[in-house]
């Protein structure tokens, strides 16, 4: 695996402590500059890796971001990953909820927890151990909220309120934007699923809630300004090269009649008569919102209508082979994160126009790493739904965007 610059570290609880947090001034859990943080000792197990695959993000617009996953196949002839082997350096700490940390070129690729160890014994001593991992979403999806009534607050503040509640006590890192939508003081029922409620908040913002490659819980508000540099992908030998490019042109994302509702009041309906005459009615129910005013609910519905009332040819994904790229190009690929922006250009040998470029939002990143190959697959959606006009910005300052912030 050293040929492709991937490092896999396994974190096991070496201290018999299950709290999960750094403890200031602790003799064992408060020592900065060591691997002994959060109750885990990390071991480099890269030499045992045969194949690894990671997948983070979502596959379609209007879906929620899924729990990120990693599947790591280890050579296990020495039984170092066998929980039945008392001679293993990890015995008896190896098990579910061990931490898996994967980096590439020094950049985070995945941080999460082992859900399952699949041990495959082979009579020719080609034993393998396969670790199936997921990120912090898998923890939040198994936590329930107690009944409470929050105050009216912006979406970012509401997320922090949930994460800080004693029954949740979220222990991971977080990067939470303030948000633009104000949520009402609506009671939360006992035993409400934590992740489902967080996704209600995300939906009410038209924002993005996901777990970053380094394990931090991320919330990005709608229309967040792009962070430079915007990634540039081209097939003409300049900029970042790609292998394949997918697009779709159909009624999968055709919506010309939007119904949206929150407890603030009456259902808000936005429709486009021209689109309905052309394509017939195609409805989207955008309900179960938490917004504090019907005006804001109506604005959300209008934004969705403006983006999806007419079908468009949309780039949906592309793949990149990392091997053979320059070090600078690898750095850009490795450092890419969900909700980053990219411009993708396709050139044609025949026809008019000779090239087409689309500004895209990265909504999925998958890595497939094995000896002699490292393929990164990006899932993207049109960026004009997420951008707001930023005068003077080389990417968001273009005047052809029809959706501005509200």
pLDDT-based confidence at residue 232 (cuts at 50, 70, 90): very high
| Strand-pair partners of 364 | 57, 379
- pLDDT score of 329 more than 90: yes
Nearest to 74 by CA among 9, 134, 141: 9
- pLDDT score of 228 more than 80: no
What was the pLDDT predicted at 1?
Answer: 45
What was the pLDDT predicted at 120?
Answer: 93
Residue 70, Cβ density class (10 Å: 0-12 exposed, 13-18 middle, ≥19 buried): buried
Opening angle at CA 225, ends 389 and 215, nearest 5: 155
| CATH number of the 231-248+312-385 domain | 2.40.30
**Per-domain residue ranges of the chain:** 2-135, 140-220, 231-248+312-385, 257-308
What was the pLDDT predicted at 396?
Answer: 45
- pLDDT score of 45 more than 60: yes
pTM flag (> 0.85): yes
| Mean pLDDT estimate for the chain | 87
- pLDDT score of 328 more than 80: yes
Phi, psi of 174 (to 5 degrees): -150, 150
Residue range 88-141, pLDDT digits in tens: 988 888 888 899 999 998 999 999 999 999 999 988 778 999 999 999 999 999
What is the Cα–Cα distance from 270 to 298, expressed in whole angstroms?
7
Residue range 144-185, pLDDT digits in tens: 999 999 999 999 999 999 999 999 999 889 999 999 999 999
Residue range 363-376, pLDDT digits in tens: 999 999 998 899 99
Q: Which CATH class is domain 2-135?
A: mainly beta
What are the distances in angstroms from CA 379 to CA 69, 147, 355? 15, 37, 21
Residue 163: enclosing H or E segment and its boundaries?
Answer: helix 155-164
SS3 317: strand
Token pair, residue 389, equals 């006009």
Residue range 341-365, pLDDT digits in tens: 999 999 999 999 999 999 999 999 9
- pLDDT score of 405 more than 70: no
| pLDDT mean over 245-272 | 94
What was the pLDDT predicted at 16?
Answer: 47
| CATH number of the 140-220 domain | 3.55.50.10
What was the pLDDT predicted at 3?
Answer: 46
What are the distances in angstroms from CA 158 to CA 220, 224, 338? 13, 18, 22
pLDDT-based confidence at residue 41 (cuts at 50, 70, 90): confident
The single-letter DSSP state of residue 149 is -
What is the Cα–Cα distance from 229 to 328, expressed in whole angstroms?
13
- CB 257, CB 282: distance < 8 Å: yes
Residue range 280-319, pLDDT digits in tens: 999 999 999 999 999 999 999 999 999 899 998 899 999 9
- pLDDT score of 14 more than 50: yes
Lowest-pLDDT range, 10-14, 32-36, 275-279? 32-36
């Amino acid at each position: 695996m050293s040929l492709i610059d991937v490092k896999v570290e396994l974190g096991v609880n070496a201290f018999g402590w299950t709290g999960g947090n750094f403890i200031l001034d602790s003799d064992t859990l408060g020592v900065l500059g060591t691997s002994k943080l959060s109750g885990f000792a990390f071991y480099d197990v890269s030499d045992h890796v045969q194949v690894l695959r990671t997948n983070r993000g979502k596959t379609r617009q209007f879906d929620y971001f899924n729990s990120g996953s990693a599947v790591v196949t280890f050579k296990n002839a020495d039984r170092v990953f066998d929980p039945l082997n008392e001679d293993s350096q990890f015995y008896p700490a190896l098990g579910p909820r061990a931490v898996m940390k994967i980096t590439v070129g020094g950049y985070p690729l995945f941080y999460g927890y082992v859900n399952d160890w699949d041990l495959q014994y082979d009579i020719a001593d080609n034993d393998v151990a396969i670790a199936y991992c997921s990120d912090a979403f898998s923890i939040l999806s198994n936590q329930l909220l107690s009944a409470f009534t929050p105050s009216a607050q912006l979406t970012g503040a509401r997320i922090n309120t949930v994460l800080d509640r004693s029954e949740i006590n979220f222990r991971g890192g977080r990067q939470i934007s303030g948000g633009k939508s104000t949520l009402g003081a609506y009671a939360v029922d006992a035993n409400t699923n934590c992740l489902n409620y967080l996704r209600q908040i995300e939906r009410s913002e038209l924002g993005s809630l996901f777990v970053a490659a380094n394990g931090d819980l991320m919330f990005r508000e709608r229309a967040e300004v792009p962070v430079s540099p915007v990634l540039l992908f081209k097939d003409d030998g300049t900029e970042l090269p790609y292998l394949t490019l997918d697009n779709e042109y159909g009624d999968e994302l055709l919506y010309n009649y939007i119904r949206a509702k929150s407890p603030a009041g009456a259902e808000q309906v936005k429709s486009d008569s021209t689109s309905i005459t052309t394509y017939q009615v195609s409805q989207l129910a955008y309900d179960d919102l938490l917004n504090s005013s019907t005006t804001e609910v109506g604005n959300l519905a209008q934004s969705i209508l403006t983006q999806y009332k007419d079908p468009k040819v949309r780039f949906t994904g592309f793949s990149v082979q990392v091997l053979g790229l320059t070090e600078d190009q690898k750095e850009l690929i490795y450092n890419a994160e969900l909700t980053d922006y990219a411009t993708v250009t396709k050139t044609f040998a025949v026809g008019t126009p000779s090239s087409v470029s689309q500004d895209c939002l990265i909504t999925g990143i998958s890595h497939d790493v094995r000896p002699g190959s490292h393929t990164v697959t990006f899932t993207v959606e049109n960026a004009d739904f997420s951008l707001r006009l930023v005068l003077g910005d080389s990417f968001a300052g273009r005047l052809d965007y029809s959706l501005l912030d509200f």
